[in-house]
Structure 1
Amino acid sequence: MTGGDYFTLTQRLNHIHKLKAYENLNLLNIGNPIRFLGKESIIQPIVATRLEQEETINDLELKRKKENEYLLKTLRSRISCFLPFHREKAHLRKLRVISFGAGRSDCNYYVSLNDRRNMAFVELRFSDKNSNIYNSIKEKESAVQERFNGEVHFKDNCISVKFKTLKDVKETVEKLVDVFEKMIIAFSNYTYYFYQDNQEMWQYHEKGI
């Protein structure tokens, strides 16, 4: 395939709804179009210091790392169309709350298996400069609540679904992934295409709110 062919195909992908792009990556004829990206600090500690740090990791941190890895793996498997899940950031595995870009700057998803109040949640947060997107979604609150069985909370430019962390990690992950998938399907037209004068993309994602 020539460079011109790749350019033509990438242009085609640019005109496909972001949620449809993943399933069309095969057009590029690349063995593995998704390559996980790992980020490390340029400044590396000396080996002795690193070993000391590793030895201080307690059981709780190891447990959180393992659970987050399972959450990330499930998100990638179940919602493969959402490309932010395919970026590998090693530090995410140790965090209590993990964030992902939602499609534009100052608009992000946050997910936690177990926060400091023993709650699991998925949130879509907007900055003040994107509050008009938040308000446009809130205007359809009745439709949103119907989609989420009345479990959605709207407050301070944040749309969230929260529940008490379940005893079984797999059950908690399954519920979080179900909620996350519903949010992505419901709100992606807003997070990706809200400011476009031409709303042509919206018709390609008819399941949105």
Structure 2
Amino acid sequence: MSSSRFAEDPIHAFLMEAHSITVDAQFIVDSLPNADLAAVERSAHQLGAVRKIVEVIDDDSVTDTVRQELLAVVDSLIAPLNSFIVSPPPPANAFIPTDRGDHAGRPRYKLNLHRVQQLHDLGNSFSDIGQAMGVSRWTITRHLEAAGLSTARRVYTEISDDALNELVAEISLGHPFVGSTIVSGHLETRQIHVPRFRVQESLRRVDELGVIV
């Protein structure tokens, strides 16, 4: 079969693109836990789209055996990526600066309280943030209170799923293959503050089937 025939065959084009996506995903999986969260989300998003298409594709070249093999490969890659997204491990060489100051006793941790508030606003608990930073939730709340900062989360924007879908679709159109972290950043610039899980769900609703087109 000629290369021009391949170019005109949408099934072949899809399988080639799917292969490229799985190769990239394997590289990211092999890099875990030292991988960028946005790259992990993007890869999982693309694999989810590939999986949906493989499930319904109707072509003589895709036998049941081939279909199951493809799904097995995709699933083997999606599982570790999703695990990383749900619970990213703390950095292997996490180091928290300390400041002894003028007081006696143990030195105080110097925490990035701005980052703590950002993570909390995204829906993470102080316990989870503390685990990632290597301190207790009580240490975090004490530092926030000592700095005169609120321990309450920002109020989420009231927005319907349909309205959120429209915004996410618009952002995805201009920035294809991005994950929820980057989309959330774009929403924040528009003064739209929603939990990350809502952005993830919206991405799946509006973009999953079109992400590799």
- Using the size of structure 2 for normalisation, the TM-score is 0.25
Bigger fraction of residues in strand: 1
Q: Which has the higher contact order (CA 8 A, sep 6+)?
A: 2
Bigger radius of gyration, 1 or 2? 2
Bigger fraction of residues in helix: 2
- Using the size of structure 1 for normalisation, the TM-score is 0.25
